[in-house]
Amino acid sequence: MPYPYVLLSAAVSLDGYLDDTTPERLLLSSRADFDRVDEVRASVDAILIGAGTIRADNPRLLVNSPERRAVRVAAGLPPYPLKVTVSGSGDLDPAANFWHTGGEKVVYTTEKGAERVRALGIAADAVPLGPELDWRRLLEHLHDVRGVRRLMVEGGGTIHTQLLRQGLADELQLVLAPLFVGDPAAPRLFGPGGYQGGRLRLVETRRIEDVVLNRYEPTAPGAGPLPAAADRHWLAVACELAADCPPSETAFSVGAVIVAADGTELARGHSREAGDPVVHAEEAALAKLDPADPRLPAATVYSSLEPCARRSSRPAPCARLILDAGVRRVVTAWREPDTFVTEADGTGLLTAQGVDVLVLPEYEERAKEPNRHLL
Ligand SMILES: NC(=O)c1ccc[n+]([C@@H]2O[C@H](COP(=O)([O-])OP(=O)(O)OC[C@H]3O[C@@H](n4cnc5c(N)ncnc54)[C@H](OP(=O)(O)O)[C@@H]3O)[C@@H](O)[C@H]2O)c1
């Protein structure tokens, strides 16, 4: 199931705190940065905060600029994005500003929490997600039922920590404010726990008055059959590589990337690269690695077209090369059509050997793009 694009947004002190412990909200951003946040809010379909932030800050969470609201309306959107909160307990203040400003509101909660939300007369749609709150179900519901394609998450730390650790954040917009909190009882942006092993990708730094905005993208592939946000990024890279292939009337143009569990790119390849008229993308990428590379068994192969199951140009098809390399996870955009080989089923061959193969059909059109003349 596709999820919305999830953008985490937060401001922190130099010592990594989201707030202090006084009852008033600590203002970390500069004036111009609050305006930038308003602009980001105006660009999304929904904004989510945790119940803890409603209790601590009593925010209204609006698009404040009338011009930005007018642009949304002109584009056929509601003036304000959908406001979303999560609460396991359902123990929310019915008088909080969140419910009485802006447009539509939804509370994702547990079965018990939904009873409490309704009993309290909270002015929002209460959606129970079972006995526990499941983030994947929440994102699916936002996407499929509410039509949310871009979701901005504005904290607090409990929410950001879960989304990042579960591989569900596409982007982190982090503002560093030039002040210290210095109180160990104050809330931190990220709690302890298992984050991705390697480095995130820094995509932008921007000075905004006296604060700095850093934008990062997580890089680590998902685990097993569950897709992570970074899987989408890497599959998009594979689709872009397919466009680099020398054109052919007799073979597909395909791109492939191999990524270690910690998000390090190990190798990439594309069809017919380096003057080899028959080399396949996965084959070209694997050939750049030492077969004994200890990172391969936990790596993910991203390929714009599913790895081939049969081929006449070389003794081993790509599915076999992947199995021999010990790779246990493949993400692809497009199942092989019958154009050159009937009933090719690289996915079946791999899954029969215990490899997790994820097909993300939302990338199929991109994978097909350099192959239109063959279809
Ligand atoms: N500087 C910034 O950019 C920024 C932004 C936002 C917030 N903040 C600060 O962050 C602090 C609040 O952060 P926080 O971590 O305490 O709260 P939070 O992340 O806003 O919300 C936590 C609450 O959300 C619900 N929740 C989260 N995950 C859940 C799950 N898996 N299942 C069920 N319920 C779940 C629970 O609500 P129930 O308790 O109702 O079950 C939980 O207590 C405040 O001090 C605020 O000022 C700062």
Question: Per-block average pLDDT, block size 10, for the chain (375 residues)?
Answer: 93 97 93 97 98 96 98 98 98 97 97 96 96 95 97 96 96 98 96 91 98 98 94 97 93 97 97 95 97 97 96 91 97 92 90 97 96 91
Rounded CA-CA distance 49/86 in Å is 7
Same domain (yes/no): 63, 212: yes
146-169 pLDDT, tens digit each:
999 999 999 999 999 999 999 999
- Any residues with CB less than 8 A from the CB of 53 and at least 6 apart, and which? 59, 154, 155, 156, 159
Same domain (yes/no): 123, 183: yes
Nearest Cα to 2, choosing from 215, 155, 154, 150? 150
- Would 223 be classed as within a structural domain? no
pTM value is: 0.95
Residues facing 82 on adjacent strands: 46
Asked if residue 122 has its Cβ within 6 Å of ligand 1, the reply is no
- Would 312 be classed as within a structural domain? yes
Domain boundary among 186, 217, 248: 217
Rounded CA-CA distance 296/286 in Å is 10
Same domain (yes/no): 167, 241: no
Same domain (yes/no): 190, 327: no
- Would 77 be classed as within a structural domain? yes
User: Looking at ligand 1, which atom is closest to the CA of residue 159?
Assistant: 19
Query: Which amino acid does the sequence have at 243?
Result: A
Nearest Cα to 332, choosing from 262, 236, 263? 236
Nearest CA to ligand 1 atom 17: 52
Nearest CA to ligand 1 atom 8: 156
Same domain (yes/no): 170, 291: no
Same domain (yes/no): 254, 364: yes
* Residue 360 backbone dihedrals phi, psi, to 5 degrees: -105, 90
- Would 112 be classed as within a structural domain? yes
How many CB atoms sit inside 10 A of residue 95's CB?
Answer: 10
The pLDDT value given to residue 311: 87
* Residue 188 backbone dihedrals phi, psi, to 5 degrees: -95, 160
Per the listing, tokens 């790779």 go with 327
- Would 306 be classed as within a structural domain? yes
- Would 222 be classed as within a structural domain? no
How far is residue 219 CA from its own chain's centroid? Answer: 10
Nearest CA to ligand 1 atom 27: 159
38 in Cβ contact with 204 (< 8 Å): no
Question: What spacing in Å lies between the alpha carbon of 204 and ligand 1's midpoint?
Answer: 27
The pLDDT value given to residue 375: 87
Same domain (yes/no): 143, 277: no
Question: What spacing in Å lies between the alpha carbon of 85 and ligand 1's midpoint?
Answer: 9
Nearest Cα to 297, choosing from 256, 268, 266? 266
Domain boundary among 187, 217, 247: 217
* Residue 249 backbone dihedrals phi, psi, to 5 degrees: -95, -10
The pLDDT value given to residue 1: 66
Same domain (yes/no): 99, 236: no
- Can you give the length of the chain in residues? 375
Classify residue 240 as exposed, middle or buried by CB count within 10 Å of its CB (0-12, 13-18, 19+). middle
Question: What spacing in Å lies between the alpha carbon of 374 and ligand 1's midpoint?
Answer: 51
Token reading at 60: 């209204």
Domain boundary among 158, 182, 217: 217
User: Residue 61 sits in a domain of what CATH number?
Assistant: 3.40.430.10
- Would 224 be classed as within a structural domain? no
Nearest CA to ligand 1 atom 36: 87
Same domain (yes/no): 147, 260: no
Can you give the residue range of the structural domain that contains 206?
Answer: 5-217
User: Looking at ligand 1, which atom is closest to the CA of residue 110?
Assistant: 33
Q: Which of 53, 97, 153, 154 to mutate to test the pocket of ligand 1 (most atoms within 8 A of CB)?
A: 53
Same domain (yes/no): 363, 270: yes
User: Residue 366 sits in a domain of what CATH number?
Assistant: 3.40.140.10
Domains: count for the chain: 2
18 in Cβ contact with 188 (< 8 Å): yes
Same domain (yes/no): 248, 169: no
Determine the Cα angle at 88 with ends 82 and 92, to 5°. Answer: 65
User: Looking at ligand 1, which atom is closest to the CA of residue 160?
Assistant: 19
What does the buried/exposed string (b/e) look like for 131-164 if buried means 16 or more CB atoms within 10 Å of the residue's CB?
Answer: eebebeebbbbbbeebebebbbbbbbbbbbbbbb
Same domain (yes/no): 136, 251: no
Query: Which amino acid does the sequence have at 237?
Result: V
